[in-house]
Structure 1
Amino acid sequence: MPPQNLPPRDAIRHAAGELFVRDGYGATTVRAIAAAAGCDPALVIRHFGSKEGLFLATVSISGDLSAILAGPLASIGRELVRYVLDAAESPVAGVYRALLSASDRPEIKERLRASMHDVFVGPLAERVGGTYPELRARLAAAQFAGLINAFWLVGDQVLACADREAVIALYGDAIQRLLTCEDPQPTC
Protein backbone atom coordinates (compact mmCIF):
# COMPACT_ATOMS: atom_id res chain seq x y z
CA MET A 1 0.00 0.00 0.00
CA PRO A 2 1.48 3.37 -0.95
CA PRO A 3 1.99 6.02 1.71
CA GLN A 4 -0.92 8.43 2.03
CA ASN A 5 -0.83 11.87 0.46
CA LEU A 6 1.24 10.84 -2.55
CA PRO A 7 0.27 12.40 -5.87
CA PRO A 8 -1.69 9.84 -7.95
CA ARG A 9 1.19 9.15 -10.36
CA ASP A 10 3.57 8.41 -7.48
CA ALA A 11 0.96 6.29 -5.68
CA ILE A 12 0.49 4.24 -8.86
CA ARG A 13 4.26 3.72 -9.27
CA HIS A 14 4.65 2.74 -5.63
CA ALA A 15 1.77 0.26 -5.74
CA ALA A 16 2.93 -1.16 -9.07
CA GLY A 17 6.47 -1.64 -7.80
CA GLU A 18 5.26 -3.63 -4.81
CA LEU A 19 2.88 -5.76 -6.87
CA PHE A 20 5.36 -6.47 -9.69
CA VAL A 21 7.97 -7.60 -7.18
CA ARG A 22 5.54 -9.66 -5.11
CA ASP A 23 3.41 -11.22 -7.86
CA GLY A 24 5.49 -10.88 -11.03
CA TYR A 25 4.59 -9.12 -14.24
CA GLY A 26 2.10 -11.66 -15.59
CA ALA A 27 0.01 -11.94 -12.43
CA THR A 28 -0.17 -8.19 -11.81
CA THR A 29 -3.18 -6.49 -13.39
CA VAL A 30 -3.89 -2.83 -14.03
CA ARG A 31 -7.00 -3.22 -11.86
CA ALA A 32 -4.95 -4.57 -8.95
CA ILE A 33 -2.46 -1.72 -9.30
CA ALA A 34 -5.27 0.84 -9.37
CA ALA A 35 -6.94 -0.72 -6.33
CA ALA A 36 -3.67 -0.69 -4.37
CA ALA A 37 -3.04 2.93 -5.41
CA GLY A 38 -6.61 3.96 -4.57
CA CYS A 39 -7.48 5.19 -8.05
CA ASP A 40 -9.39 4.24 -11.18
CA PRO A 41 -7.69 1.87 -13.70
CA ALA A 42 -8.18 4.53 -16.39
CA LEU A 43 -5.87 6.83 -14.44
CA VAL A 44 -3.12 4.18 -14.57
CA ILE A 45 -3.44 4.05 -18.36
CA ARG A 46 -3.64 7.83 -18.63
CA HIS A 47 -0.36 8.27 -16.74
CA PHE A 48 1.62 5.34 -18.16
CA GLY A 49 -0.10 4.26 -21.39
CA SER A 50 -0.14 0.54 -20.57
CA LYS A 51 0.86 -2.01 -17.97
CA GLU A 52 4.11 -2.51 -19.89
CA GLY A 53 4.78 1.24 -19.85
CA LEU A 54 4.17 1.34 -16.11
CA PHE A 55 6.45 -1.65 -15.59
CA LEU A 56 9.24 0.03 -17.55
CA ALA A 57 8.77 3.25 -15.56
CA THR A 58 8.76 1.43 -12.25
CA VAL A 59 11.35 -1.33 -12.29
CA SER A 60 15.10 -0.72 -12.33
CA ILE A 61 18.07 -3.04 -11.87
CA SER A 62 20.71 -0.46 -11.06
CA GLY A 63 20.46 -0.70 -7.27
CA ASP A 64 23.84 -0.13 -5.64
CA LEU A 65 25.78 -1.33 -8.68
CA SER A 66 26.87 2.15 -9.69
CA ALA A 67 28.86 2.61 -6.49
CA ILE A 68 30.52 -0.81 -6.85
CA LEU A 69 31.37 -0.26 -10.50
CA ALA A 70 32.84 3.17 -9.71
CA GLY A 71 34.98 1.71 -6.92
CA PRO A 72 38.54 0.44 -7.19
CA LEU A 73 38.89 -1.65 -10.35
CA ALA A 74 41.12 -4.16 -8.57
CA SER A 75 38.31 -5.28 -6.23
CA ILE A 76 35.20 -5.10 -8.42
CA GLY A 77 34.95 -8.87 -8.96
CA ARG A 78 34.70 -9.74 -5.28
CA GLU A 79 32.48 -6.72 -4.54
CA LEU A 80 30.00 -7.84 -7.21
CA VAL A 81 29.81 -11.29 -5.63
CA ARG A 82 29.28 -9.76 -2.17
CA TYR A 83 26.47 -7.68 -3.66
CA VAL A 84 24.72 -10.79 -5.01
CA LEU A 85 25.08 -12.67 -1.73
CA ASP A 86 23.97 -9.73 0.42
CA ALA A 87 20.98 -8.84 -1.77
CA ALA A 88 19.61 -12.38 -2.22
CA GLU A 89 16.65 -11.67 0.09
CA SER A 90 16.33 -7.96 -0.64
CA PRO A 91 13.81 -6.06 -2.77
CA VAL A 92 16.38 -5.76 -5.58
CA ALA A 93 16.28 -9.56 -6.03
CA GLY A 94 12.49 -9.34 -6.34
CA VAL A 95 12.85 -6.60 -8.94
CA TYR A 96 15.23 -8.81 -10.92
CA ARG A 97 12.79 -11.73 -10.77
CA ALA A 98 9.98 -9.42 -11.94
CA LEU A 99 12.11 -8.25 -14.86
CA LEU A 100 12.90 -11.81 -15.87
CA SER A 101 9.27 -12.84 -15.62
CA ALA A 102 8.43 -10.14 -18.17
CA SER A 103 11.47 -10.56 -20.40
CA ASP A 104 9.49 -12.31 -23.13
CA ARG A 105 8.00 -8.91 -24.00
CA PRO A 106 10.10 -7.11 -26.66
CA GLU A 107 10.10 -3.68 -24.99
CA ILE A 108 11.10 -5.15 -21.66
CA LYS A 109 13.79 -7.35 -23.22
CA GLU A 110 15.20 -4.24 -24.89
CA ARG A 111 15.08 -2.37 -21.55
CA LEU A 112 17.03 -5.21 -19.93
CA ARG A 113 19.67 -5.04 -22.66
CA ALA A 114 19.91 -1.26 -22.45
CA SER A 115 20.06 -1.29 -18.64
CA MET A 116 22.80 -3.93 -18.63
CA HIS A 117 24.79 -1.80 -21.04
CA ASP A 118 24.14 1.55 -19.33
CA VAL A 119 24.59 0.34 -15.75
CA PHE A 120 27.26 -2.34 -16.14
CA VAL A 121 28.95 -2.81 -19.52
CA GLY A 122 29.42 0.82 -20.53
CA PRO A 123 30.95 2.07 -17.26
CA LEU A 124 33.22 -0.97 -16.98
CA ALA A 125 34.36 -0.90 -20.60
CA GLU A 126 35.54 2.69 -20.09
CA ARG A 127 37.67 1.62 -17.13
CA VAL A 128 39.00 -1.75 -18.28
CA GLY A 129 41.23 -0.50 -21.08
CA GLY A 130 43.55 -2.79 -22.98
CA THR A 131 42.40 -5.09 -25.72
CA TYR A 132 38.69 -5.89 -26.09
CA PRO A 133 37.38 -3.63 -23.27
CA GLU A 134 33.72 -3.89 -24.35
CA LEU A 135 33.92 -7.67 -24.81
CA ARG A 136 35.61 -8.12 -21.44
CA ALA A 137 33.01 -5.94 -19.70
CA ARG A 138 30.18 -7.79 -21.45
CA LEU A 139 31.62 -11.19 -20.45
CA ALA A 140 31.96 -9.98 -16.85
CA ALA A 141 28.30 -8.91 -17.01
CA ALA A 142 27.36 -12.38 -18.27
CA GLN A 143 29.23 -14.01 -15.38
CA PHE A 144 27.57 -11.63 -12.93
CA ALA A 145 24.13 -12.42 -14.39
CA GLY A 146 24.86 -16.14 -14.09
CA LEU A 147 25.56 -15.79 -10.37
CA ILE A 148 22.42 -13.69 -9.93
CA ASN A 149 20.39 -16.40 -11.64
CA ALA A 150 21.87 -19.12 -9.42
CA PHE A 151 21.15 -17.23 -6.19
CA TRP A 152 18.11 -15.06 -6.91
CA LEU A 153 16.16 -17.01 -9.49
CA VAL A 154 17.00 -20.69 -9.12
CA GLY A 155 17.85 -20.54 -5.43
CA ASP A 156 20.74 -23.03 -5.71
CA GLN A 157 20.91 -24.39 -2.16
CA VAL A 158 24.34 -25.96 -2.59
CA LEU A 159 25.75 -22.54 -3.44
CA ALA A 160 23.67 -20.87 -0.74
CA CYS A 161 25.14 -23.23 1.87
CA ALA A 162 28.70 -23.03 0.54
CA ASP A 163 31.38 -21.16 2.45
CA ARG A 164 30.63 -17.49 1.76
CA GLU A 165 34.25 -16.37 1.60
CA ALA A 166 35.13 -19.22 -0.78
CA VAL A 167 32.29 -18.21 -3.12
CA ILE A 168 33.43 -14.58 -2.99
CA ALA A 169 37.06 -15.47 -3.69
CA LEU A 170 36.49 -18.09 -6.39
CA TYR A 171 33.73 -16.39 -8.34
CA GLY A 172 34.94 -12.87 -7.69
CA ASP A 173 38.40 -13.71 -8.99
CA ALA A 174 36.87 -15.28 -12.12
CA ILE A 175 35.05 -12.02 -12.85
CA GLN A 176 38.13 -10.00 -11.91
CA ARG A 177 40.32 -11.88 -14.38
CA LEU A 178 38.15 -10.64 -17.23
CA LEU A 179 38.56 -7.07 -16.08
CA THR A 180 42.21 -6.81 -15.05
CA CYS A 181 44.17 -9.63 -16.69
CA GLU A 182 46.93 -8.90 -19.14
CA ASP A 183 45.60 -8.41 -22.64
CA PRO A 184 44.25 -11.80 -23.67
CA GLN A 185 45.02 -13.08 -27.13
CA PRO A 186 42.44 -15.37 -28.72
CA THR A 187 43.89 -18.67 -29.88
CA CYS A 188 41.16 -19.61 -32.31
Structure 2
Amino acid sequence: MLPQNIPSRDSIHRAATELFVRDGYSGTTVRGIAAVAGCDPALVIRHFGSKEGLFLATISVSQELPRILAGPIESIGRELVRFVLRASETPAAGVYRAMLTASDRPEIKEKLRASMHDVFVGPLADRIGGSYPELRARLVAAQFAGLINAYWLVADPVLSCADRPAIVALYGDSIQRLLDTADPVAGEA
Protein backbone atom coordinates (compact mmCIF):
# COMPACT_ATOMS: atom_id res chain seq x y z
CA MET A 1 0.00 0.00 0.00
CA LEU A 2 1.30 3.48 -0.96
CA PRO A 3 1.68 6.15 1.74
CA GLN A 4 -1.05 8.79 1.55
CA ASN A 5 1.22 11.73 2.40
CA ILE A 6 3.33 11.82 -0.80
CA PRO A 7 3.35 15.40 -2.09
CA SER A 8 1.47 15.96 -5.31
CA ARG A 9 2.83 17.25 -8.58
CA ASP A 10 1.20 20.59 -7.69
CA SER A 11 3.06 20.74 -4.36
CA ILE A 12 6.36 20.20 -6.16
CA HIS A 13 5.39 22.81 -8.76
CA ARG A 14 4.57 25.40 -6.05
CA ALA A 15 7.84 24.70 -4.21
CA ALA A 16 9.83 25.02 -7.42
CA THR A 17 8.13 28.28 -8.38
CA GLU A 18 8.88 29.75 -4.97
CA LEU A 19 12.55 28.73 -5.12
CA PHE A 20 13.14 29.73 -8.74
CA VAL A 21 11.69 33.20 -8.07
CA ARG A 22 13.59 33.60 -4.80
CA ASP A 23 16.94 32.00 -5.67
CA GLY A 24 17.08 32.05 -9.47
CA TYR A 25 17.68 29.10 -11.71
CA SER A 26 21.26 28.30 -10.76
CA GLY A 27 20.58 28.86 -7.05
CA THR A 28 17.77 26.30 -7.04
CA THR A 29 18.45 22.58 -6.83
CA VAL A 30 16.26 19.53 -7.23
CA ARG A 31 17.20 18.59 -3.66
CA GLY A 32 16.09 22.03 -2.45
CA ILE A 33 12.79 21.76 -4.29
CA ALA A 34 12.23 18.29 -2.86
CA ALA A 35 13.01 19.53 0.66
CA VAL A 36 10.48 22.37 0.42
CA ALA A 37 7.88 20.05 -1.13
CA GLY A 38 8.59 17.37 1.49
CA CYS A 39 9.49 14.57 -0.89
CA ASP A 40 12.39 12.60 -2.29
CA PRO A 41 14.33 14.25 -5.17
CA ALA A 42 13.56 11.19 -7.31
CA LEU A 43 9.86 12.12 -7.17
CA VAL A 44 10.66 15.57 -8.59
CA ILE A 45 12.50 13.95 -11.48
CA ARG A 46 9.75 11.38 -11.99
CA HIS A 47 7.13 14.11 -12.35
CA PHE A 48 9.13 16.65 -14.39
CA GLY A 49 12.07 14.75 -15.93
CA SER A 50 14.76 17.27 -14.99
CA LYS A 51 15.38 20.59 -13.32
CA GLU A 52 15.07 22.23 -16.76
CA GLY A 53 11.74 20.51 -17.36
CA LEU A 54 10.43 21.68 -14.01
CA PHE A 55 11.66 25.22 -14.66
CA LEU A 56 9.92 25.31 -18.03
CA ALA A 57 6.73 24.09 -16.35
CA THR A 58 6.88 26.87 -13.74
CA ILE A 59 7.63 29.97 -15.78
CA SER A 60 4.76 32.04 -17.06
CA VAL A 61 4.20 35.54 -18.35
CA SER A 62 2.20 38.07 -16.40
CA GLN A 63 -1.44 38.09 -17.49
CA GLU A 64 -1.35 41.90 -17.48
CA LEU A 65 0.95 42.02 -20.51
CA PRO A 66 -1.57 40.57 -23.03
CA ARG A 67 -4.18 43.03 -21.70
CA ILE A 68 -1.82 45.97 -22.28
CA LEU A 69 -0.92 44.79 -25.78
CA ALA A 70 -4.62 44.41 -26.66
CA GLY A 71 -5.44 47.91 -25.38
CA PRO A 72 -5.54 51.14 -27.35
CA ILE A 73 -2.51 51.17 -29.68
CA GLU A 74 -1.91 54.87 -29.01
CA SER A 75 -1.17 54.27 -25.30
CA ILE A 76 0.80 51.00 -25.40
CA GLY A 77 4.20 52.68 -24.93
CA ARG A 78 3.33 54.38 -21.66
CA GLU A 79 1.32 51.40 -20.41
CA LEU A 80 4.28 49.06 -20.91
CA VAL A 81 6.49 51.41 -18.90
CA ARG A 82 3.88 51.70 -16.13
CA PHE A 83 3.77 47.90 -15.99
CA VAL A 84 7.56 47.67 -15.52
CA LEU A 85 7.50 50.27 -12.74
CA ARG A 86 4.51 48.70 -10.93
CA ALA A 87 5.64 45.09 -11.24
CA SER A 88 9.24 45.50 -10.06
CA GLU A 89 8.50 43.87 -6.69
CA THR A 90 5.98 41.27 -7.86
CA PRO A 91 6.35 37.61 -8.77
CA ALA A 92 6.46 38.66 -12.45
CA ALA A 93 9.82 40.36 -11.85
CA GLY A 94 11.10 37.32 -9.99
CA VAL A 95 10.04 35.01 -12.82
CA TYR A 96 11.80 37.27 -15.33
CA ARG A 97 15.00 37.32 -13.26
CA ALA A 98 14.87 33.52 -13.01
CA MET A 99 14.39 33.20 -16.78
CA LEU A 100 17.39 35.40 -17.44
CA THR A 101 19.62 33.41 -15.12
CA ALA A 102 18.65 30.27 -17.03
CA SER A 103 18.76 31.72 -20.54
CA ASP A 104 22.12 30.14 -21.34
CA ARG A 105 20.39 26.75 -21.59
CA PRO A 106 19.21 26.04 -25.18
CA GLU A 107 15.78 24.66 -24.24
CA ILE A 108 15.08 27.63 -21.99
CA LYS A 109 16.37 30.13 -24.56
CA GLU A 110 13.99 28.57 -27.09
CA LYS A 111 11.09 28.82 -24.62
CA LEU A 112 11.93 32.51 -24.07
CA ARG A 113 11.96 33.16 -27.82
CA ALA A 114 8.68 31.34 -28.35
CA SER A 115 7.07 33.10 -25.41
CA MET A 116 8.27 36.51 -26.60
CA HIS A 117 6.78 35.82 -30.02
CA ASP A 118 3.51 34.28 -28.82
CA VAL A 119 2.76 36.76 -26.03
CA PHE A 120 4.33 39.97 -27.29
CA VAL A 121 5.52 40.15 -30.90
CA GLY A 122 2.75 38.19 -32.63
CA PRO A 123 -0.22 39.95 -31.04
CA LEU A 124 1.36 43.39 -31.40
CA ALA A 125 2.50 42.85 -35.00
CA ASP A 126 -1.06 41.87 -35.93
CA ARG A 127 -2.19 45.35 -34.85
CA ILE A 128 0.56 47.46 -36.40
CA GLY A 129 0.19 48.81 -39.90
CA GLY A 130 2.86 49.71 -42.37
CA SER A 131 5.53 47.70 -44.12
CA TYR A 132 7.38 46.46 -41.04
CA PRO A 133 4.85 45.26 -38.43
CA GLU A 134 6.93 42.36 -37.10
CA LEU A 135 10.15 44.38 -37.08
CA ARG A 136 8.43 47.20 -35.19
CA ALA A 137 6.92 44.75 -32.70
CA ARG A 138 10.34 43.14 -32.10
CA LEU A 139 11.95 46.55 -31.59
CA VAL A 140 9.20 47.48 -29.09
CA ALA A 141 9.88 44.17 -27.31
CA ALA A 142 13.61 44.96 -27.26
CA GLN A 143 13.02 48.39 -25.72
CA PHE A 144 10.60 46.90 -23.19
CA ALA A 145 13.16 44.21 -22.26
CA GLY A 146 15.86 46.87 -21.95
CA LEU A 147 13.87 48.76 -19.34
CA ILE A 148 13.07 45.52 -17.53
CA ASN A 149 16.76 44.64 -17.42
CA ALA A 150 17.74 48.06 -16.11
CA TYR A 151 14.92 48.25 -13.58
CA TRP A 152 14.33 44.65 -12.43
CA LEU A 153 17.64 42.91 -12.98
CA VAL A 154 20.35 45.54 -12.57
CA ALA A 155 18.23 47.75 -10.26
CA ASP A 156 19.82 50.90 -11.68
CA PRO A 157 19.86 53.28 -8.68
CA VAL A 158 19.23 56.39 -10.79
CA LEU A 159 16.18 54.82 -12.41
CA SER A 160 14.97 53.49 -9.07
CA CYS A 161 15.00 57.00 -7.59
CA ALA A 162 13.89 58.90 -10.70
CA ASP A 163 10.55 60.62 -11.03
CA ARG A 164 8.17 57.88 -12.21
CA PRO A 165 5.94 60.12 -14.33
CA ALA A 166 9.07 61.36 -16.13
CA ILE A 167 10.18 57.77 -16.83
CA VAL A 168 6.69 56.92 -18.12
CA ALA A 169 6.62 59.96 -20.40
CA LEU A 170 10.18 59.77 -21.72
CA TYR A 171 10.55 56.02 -22.19
CA GLY A 172 6.90 55.36 -22.98
CA ASP A 173 6.92 57.95 -25.76
CA SER A 174 10.17 56.48 -27.09
CA ILE A 175 8.50 53.06 -27.36
CA GLN A 176 5.37 54.65 -28.83
CA ARG A 177 7.37 56.23 -31.67
CA LEU A 178 8.11 52.73 -32.97
CA LEU A 179 4.38 52.15 -33.25
CA ASP A 180 3.34 55.56 -34.62
CA THR A 181 6.13 56.72 -36.92
CA ALA A 182 5.73 56.42 -40.69
CA ASP A 183 7.71 53.73 -42.47
CA PRO A 184 11.26 54.72 -43.36
CA VAL A 185 11.94 55.60 -46.98
CA ALA A 186 13.79 52.81 -48.80
CA GLY A 187 17.53 53.45 -48.87
CA GLU A 188 17.53 55.95 -45.97
CA ALA A 189 19.60 55.04 -42.97
Taking structure 1 as the reference length, what is the TM-score of the superposition?
0.94
Does structure 2 retain, via aligned residues, the 8 Å contact 1:80–1:172? yes
Alignment partner of 1:132 is 2:124: no
Alpha-carbon distance between aligned partners in 2 of 1:100 and 1:185, rounded to the nearest angstrom:
36
The amino acid of 1:109's aligned partner reads K
TM-superposed deviation, 1:6 = 10
Look up the match of 2:147: 147
Task: Give the aligned CA root-mean-square deviation in angstroms.
Answer: 1.5
The amino acid of 2:117's aligned partner reads H
TM-superposed deviation, 1:63 = 3.6
Does structure 1 retain, via aligned residues, the 8 Å contact 2:7–2:39? no
* SS of equivalent residue, structure 1 residue 182: coil
Look up the match of 1:185: 185
Summarize the Cα distance change of 1:8–1:117 in structure 2 as closer, same or farther, 3 Å threshold. same
Alpha-carbon distance between aligned partners in 1 of 2:135 and 2:7, rounded to the nearest angstrom:
44
Between the two proteins, the alignment pairs up a number of residues equal to 184
Deviant stretches of 4+, over 3 Å: none
Alpha-carbon distance between aligned partners in 2 of 1:129 and 1:75, rounded to the nearest angstrom:
16
Alpha-carbon distance between aligned partners in 2 of 1:173 and 1:132, rounded to the nearest angstrom:
19
Look up the match of 1:166: 166
The amino acid of 1:180's aligned partner reads D
Alignment partner of 1:119 is 2:119: yes
* SS of equivalent residue, structure 1 residue 129: coil
Look up the match of 2:103: 103
Summarize the Cα distance change of 1:6–1:88 in structure 2 as closer, same or farther, 3 Å threshold. farther
* SS of equivalent residue, structure 1 residue 103: coil
In percent, how many aligned pairs have the same letter? 76
Alpha-carbon distance between aligned partners in 2 of 1:137 and 1:143, rounded to the nearest angstrom:
10
Unpaired segments ≥5 residues, structure 2: none
Taking structure 2 as the reference length, what is the TM-score of the superposition?
0.93
Look up the match of 2:11: 11
Q: After the TM superposition, which residues 30-41 of structure 1 pair with which residues of structure 2 at under 5 Å, given as runs? A: 30-41=30-41
Unpaired segments ≥5 residues, structure 1: none
